[in-house]
């Protein structure tokens, strides 16, 4: 757990895992900041991924919360979606990437998917992502070679996506093999929207064309699709997240395509792209989440999980 201003460590929670397990993947917190969740090995098969575990910050007791990882919702129609809960908690939007992009709109009060929106101007070789900003949702889709992209601003009342706004391409790399895949993502805080290529994941294009990949993120005019500014060009973000309060982004820059070099964690002013604080992390595969916690354990502590993992 890191201080949001200095980025220095304020607490560590150690979790004992079985030897040669899949390790930990992803982290999040509940709404009131009293519980954190991590994705880890399947309890009965440490080589399998993943189960979702909760850690009570008051007692440090760790329990299995679900037998499947947190990306899955338990909602049949959205089982493979990347989920985004609206700030007011009334809507759960699911970004689907299966035979082309789609957006599932789940009404939490009604407990059902009320509609699915599919862009008609894209094909199966496009990949979608999305993010909430206040009461509207940005839905972004890009062609896998980085040659085209489109942006939609969606509300819970939207019934048709239309053509959206064409966004200037930024991820084209003519020297890369034809099968290389540009995984583009967006980050939003207030009315500030950035697009970036996500690195450090499966299919990182630096493995095949290491000298052709531009790092950083681009400020987008959401009404025209024009790229206005390129920031942090020397960083290759695996993720870029809004800071919650104020125009701040936090970014995790993978040290290499296979995380083989030290990793940088940065705090960025979203208005001008200035890096306000930077910290070098160990050479590991890192995941981050931004949350306000009610209780932060002091110093180095141990999570308590008696007989949670099978020893077979």
pTM to 2 decimal places: 0.87
Per-residue confidence at 70, pLDDT binned at 50, 70, 90?
Answer: very low
Assess whether 20 and 152 both reside in one domain. Answer: no
Give the CATH number for residue 101. 2.130.10.10
Assess whether 33 and 88 both reside in one domain. Answer: no
Assess whether 233 and 277 both reside in one domain. Answer: yes
pLDDT for res 59: 93
Check pLDDT > 60 for residue 72.
Answer: no
Assess whether 219 and 167 both reside in one domain. Answer: yes
Structural domain that includes position 307: 1-57+293-312
In a domain, 69, yes or no: no
What 199-204 contacts at long range (C-beta under 8 Å, 24+ apart), as own/partner pairs, is 199/236, 199/237, 199/238, 199/253, 199/254, 199/257, 200/236, 200/238, 200/254, 200/257, 200/259, 200/285, 201/238, 204/254, 204/257, 204/258
Assess whether 101 and 249 both reside in one domain. Answer: yes
What is the domain count for the chain? 2
The tens digit of pLDDT for each residue in 151-180 reads 999 999 999 999 999 999 998 887 787 777
Assess whether 52 and 183 both reside in one domain. Answer: no
Assess whether 110 and 166 both reside in one domain. Answer: yes
Assess whether 120 and 207 both reside in one domain. Answer: yes
Which residues are bridge partners to 150 per DSSP? Answer: 141, 166
Assess whether 181 and 276 both reside in one domain. Answer: yes
Stretch 256-270: mean pLDDT: 91
Assess whether 210 and 302 both reside in one domain. Answer: no
Assess whether 267 and 141 both reside in one domain. Answer: yes
Assess whether 107 and 249 both reside in one domain. Answer: yes
Name 289's Cβ contacts closer than 8 Å, sequence gap at least 6. Answer: 26, 27, 28, 29, 241
The tens digit of pLDDT for each residue in 85-104 reads 898 889 999 999 888 899 99
DSSP codes of every residue in 195-255: EEE--SSTT-GGGT-TTS---SEEEE-TTT--EEEEE-TT--EEEEEE-SSSSEEEEEE-S
The tens digit of pLDDT for each residue in 106-116 reads 998 998 899 99
Stretch 24-42: mean pLDDT: 85
Check pLDDT > 90 for residue 249.
Answer: yes
Check pLDDT > 50 for residue 71.
Answer: no
Name 179's Cβ contacts closer than 8 Å, sequence gap at least 6. Answer: none
Closest C-alpha among 155, 149, 157 to residue 127: 149
Between 210 and 8, the more confident residue is 8
Question: Which segment of 18-32, 97-111, 127-141, 222-236 scores lowest on mean pLDDT?
Answer: 18-32
pLDDT for res 60: 92
């Amino acid at each position: 757990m890191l201080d949001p201003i200095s980025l220095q460590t304020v607490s560590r929670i150690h979790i004992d895992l079985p030897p040669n397990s899949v390790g930990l993947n992803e982290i999040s917190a509940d709404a009131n900041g009293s519980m954190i969740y991590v994705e880890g090995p399947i309890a009965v098969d440490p080589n399998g991924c993943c189960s979702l575990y909760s850690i009570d910050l008051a007692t440090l007791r760790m329990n299995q919360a679900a037998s499947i990882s947190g990306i899955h919702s338990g909602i049949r129609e959205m089982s493979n979606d990347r989920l985004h809960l609206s700030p007011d908690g009334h809507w759960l939007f699911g970004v689907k990437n299966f035979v082309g992009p789609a957006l599932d709109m789940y009404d939490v009060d009604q407990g059902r998917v009320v509609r699915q929106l599919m862009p008609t101007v894209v094909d199966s070789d496009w990949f979608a992502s999305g993010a909430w900003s206040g009461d509207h949702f940005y839905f972004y889709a890009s062609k896998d070679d980085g040659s085209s992209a489109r942006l939609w601003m969606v509300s819970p009342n939207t019934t048709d996506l239309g053509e959206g706004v064409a966004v200037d391409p930024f991820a084209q790399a003519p020297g890369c093999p034809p099968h290389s895949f540009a995984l583009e993502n967006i980050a939003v805080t207030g009315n500030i929207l950035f697009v970036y290529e996500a690195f450090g994941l499966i299919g990182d294009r630096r493995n095949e064309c290491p000298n052709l990949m531009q790092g950083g993120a681009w400020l987008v005019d959401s009404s025209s699709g024009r790229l206005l500014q390129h920031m942090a060009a020397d960083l290759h973000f695996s993720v870029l997240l809004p800071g919650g309060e104020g125009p701040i982004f936090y970014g995790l820059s993978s040290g290499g395509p296979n995380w083989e070099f030290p990793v940088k964690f940065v705090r960025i002013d979203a208005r001008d792209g200035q890096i306000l604080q930077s910290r070098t992390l160990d050479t590991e595969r890192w995941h981050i989440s931004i949350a306000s916690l009610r209780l932060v354990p002091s110093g180095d502590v141990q999570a308590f999980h008696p007989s949670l993992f099978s020893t077979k």
